[in-house]
Amino acid sequence: MNALKKLVDKVKPNFQKGGKLEKFHSVFDGFETFLFVPNTTSKHGTHIHDAIDSKRTMVMVIIALLPALFFGMYNTGYQHFLAIGQQVSFIDTFIYGFLSVLPLIIVAYGVGLGIEFIVAQIKGHEIQEGFLVSGMLIPLIIPIDTPLWMVAVATAFAVIFAKEVFGGTGMNIFNVALVTRAFLFFAYPTFMSGDTVWVRTADTFGIGSGTIVDGYSGATVLGQVATAATEQVKLLNTIGNPIGFIDGFLGFIPGSIGETSTLAILIGAFILLITRIASWKTMFSVFAGGALMALIFNMWGPDTAAAHFPWYNHLVFGGFAFGAVFMATDPVTSARTETGKWIYGALIGAMAIIIRVLNPGYPEGMMLAILLMNIFAPLIDYYVVDANIKRRLKRAKTN
């Protein structure tokens, strides 16, 4: 650590005013404050200082994402070898998944951070760290077989139009990672939905080539539910074996990379809650709202498989848990008042289930539900604050 500090101090003069590389001072600042807590404090005005700044908040979210990421890598390999009917060791499975997922992460980070650096350089800002989390979320919410150039185009679109035009990190209305996914979903629907994109059947860098076994189907659980002809649907995994609630909870099913395992997501949720980075109110109310809405459909819904999909299954299959834990709790785009968080979360959960059940075109509703509620978050806050003002005015008058 000391050697690193010495190195940073040694190259520092180059980036300060008058130095050779003055132009790149924002890049340097970004790296320096990322590595070390700055030793300066503000000298004017009143400041509330917190031990945790936004860079370290972001790092904590990344740590919380790791269980889902590693499980997603393993599951990518697991589904692949299941599909081609080969038995391989744990390590080989993981390596296959790791090599498949890694390019997506590199592309998402490379494009997103590249744009951030360029914008910071043009505007003379410091580099904003907001993309650290978005760049990790993007690969986790897309199918494994998404072509890399699509990821690059969508990431560039989302960073420019969902974030930079609004003023950068902390100013965006929509969750950047979800805008990336929405762009992919509407621009290239054949790569974002259907039965063939969720399990990688081709080899990765020459590893794991083979032919697909008989009875293979790459449909996700929600895809099976959406296309089911009968009211009661029998859920099947990649090679046609029946699955149930516990498989959805553990996550050995096809789906977007990071969303399949509710268990891994809950470990991440635990990290976020114990460090108080995410709001338990938002998280809890998303699950509560979703469960309630699903229960209502279970009892009085139309005669479709989606409406009669048990409420507990709705919570563990698809992107529901991932969205609730990592997307709905995004501090920038969610409601900020405490009462507002309850309303915001509950409406996300309810909307997600409504979209899943009532719109056969969208087997998964979490992305659209969160983006929709992102728009309403400021409105919810406005009325919560307004109600508070009215209540206190009334109290002041009666006394």
Partner 1 sequence: MSKLISEKTKEVFLGPLSKNNPITVQVLGICSALAVTSKLEPALVMGISVTIIVAFSNVIISLIRNTIPNRIRIIVQLVVVAALVTVVSEILKAYAYDVSVQLSVYIGLIITNCILMGRLEAFAMSNKPWESFVDGLGNGFGYAWILVAVAFVRELLGSGSLLGFKVIPQSVYDAGYMNNGLMMMPPMALIIVACIIWIHRARNKDLQEK
Residue that has been written with the tokens 């009085």 in this structure: 300
Is residue 312 near partner 1 by the rule CB under 8 A?
A: no
Is residue 149 near partner 1 by the rule CB under 8 A?
A: yes
Is residue 150 near partner 1 by the rule CB under 8 A?
A: yes
φ/ψ region of 288 (left if φ > 0, alpha if ψ in -120 to 50, else beta) reads: alpha
Nearest approach, Cβ of 336 to partner 1 (angstroms)?
Answer: 27
Q: Which is nearer to partner 1, 164 or 247 (CB)?
A: 164
Nearest approach, Cβ of 246 to partner 1 (angstroms)?
Answer: 37
Nearest approach, Cβ of 149 to partner 1 (angstroms)?
Answer: 7
Is residue 147 near partner 1 by the rule CB under 8 A?
A: yes
| Torsion of Cα atoms, 311 then 316 then 319 then 320, to 10° | 50
Alpha-carbon distance 24 to 6, whole Å?
A: 20
Scanning 21-29, 143-151, 238-246, 348-356 for contacts with partner 1 by CB under 8 A, the matching segment is: 143-151
Strand partners, 204: 207
- φ/ψ of 241, rounded to 5, equals -85, 145
Alpha-carbon distance 172 to 167, whole Å?
A: 7
**What does the per-residue mask of binding to partner 1 show for 35-74, with x meaning CB under 8 A?**
----------------------------------------
Three-state secondary structure call for residue 207: strand
**What does the per-residue mask of binding to partner 1 show for 184-223, with x meaning CB under 8 A?**
--xxxxxx--------------------------------
Alpha-carbon distance 338 to 343, whole Å?
A: 9
Q: What is the maximum span of the chain, computed from C-alpha positions, in angstroms?
A: 80
Q: Which is nearer to partner 1, 149 or 300 (CB)?
A: 149
Alpha-carbon distance 137 to 127, whole Å?
A: 19
Nearest approach, Cβ of 388 to partner 1 (angstroms)?
Answer: 33
Q: Which is nearer to partner 1, 179 or 352 (CB)?
A: 179
142-181 burial by CB neighbour count: b if 16+ within 10 A, else e?
bbbbbeeebbbbbbbbbbeebbbeeebbeebebbbbbbbb
Is residue 13 near partner 1 by the rule CB under 8 A?
A: no
**What does the per-residue mask of binding to partner 1 show for 160-189, with x meaning CB under 8 A?**
-x---x-----------------x--xxxx
Residues forming the site for partner 1 (CB under 8 A): 147, 149-150, 161, 165, 183, 186-191
